[in-house]
Chains A and B, each alone.
Chain A
């Protein structure tokens, strides 16, 4: 599966100051092929962390269900008792909150575990030579795993509220793929800065809780100015959230502008984050 040893033997490596500063398309080809070469390791580390997490736990995967279920439960009570007036949503409210939570948790837990991935890897970082992106991807991989095991629960909720999703639900990967790119791009930056300055990790937690309430997860996307601009259009996660609700409940995109913006933003973050990370990689081992 891997490059044969004979091919590697002819390889001459040169380490020089600024040798990683090359520009152009071949840098990106190198970066991608490096990751492809290390896909085995990404998978191993991901499986390692997932199986270690469940090895000594009785409730096991149920822990992944609890957060979204609790949030859903609380807000269903809040809405039904009109403690906070929450407008009508495109699909039954419990399903709406649960979908929102699934997407949001993918984003927030992905970022959090990516941000901690470098510092928690310990001596691995300073002593073994491998592309450090591997650690971030495998950390994000764990939250993808969590996302996947929540799917059966979502189906149960659909059955419970008697909701039949539109066929366009099959297009959901078009939302998840760019969202994952966004998580990867931001995760690289966060992991790197968190390794240098630990304040980043703390700041991230606060920022994420603010961002959660600034995203249409617990309430429908606002329709009036200026809230609709700030919440629906500027926040890239909203673009994906709204598109997800649309694909599941409406069948077409009601706010394709926000979705398009989110996709472009994500791709941009991926390029910026990955490039900076790659440039800084040797410095991280120095400074951690």
Chain B
């Protein structure tokens, strides 16, 4: 079964064409990384799959249904943590339980607490359960958001730059947890990232996007120098090349 299928997907955000003629198929159980420069339409693609944005043209199917018809329990979403309102009065347990209830719980039920604590244990964050979300570090918060998305046992996990601002150790732990979950559940993972190394190490296929699909395939093919040059442009590519210590080799 296809987890995600898009055909000639086009969407405008204001006057900007965010995605243009995007056609792709992602099989259930695949780990796909989406790369591209800032403003390339990566997060927009995730929002279309979540049913938050409607395409202007083309077709999008998630588990062979229109995105807005997909039961929300089937999709786990980890947003960029920079969008979080840290001033909101909430403890970690409450945030994780929103993944189960799809609402803010006035009283925490024992069954929900149990599930939330089990998932926090899975991501190594059970000690944070009673902490205020405003007091968490970026790495801690990202684990909590991962727990929130996993608590409903989703079939598709959408991650939007999940490890931005997290140290190397925290990043490695994050992918270890995610890999463990995928191994057990065979869930499909779509991850927006700026990190080519992470994409080539963890993903089975990489989509290089810049409003349209530049390349889509195994990391060694999709991250070819020509593909990245097309996506990022030459000067930017050279800078990144230096920063990352070279492009992946086929």
Decide whether A and B are members of one complex.
no
Hey, which bits of chain B sit against chain A, CB under 8 A?
Answer: none
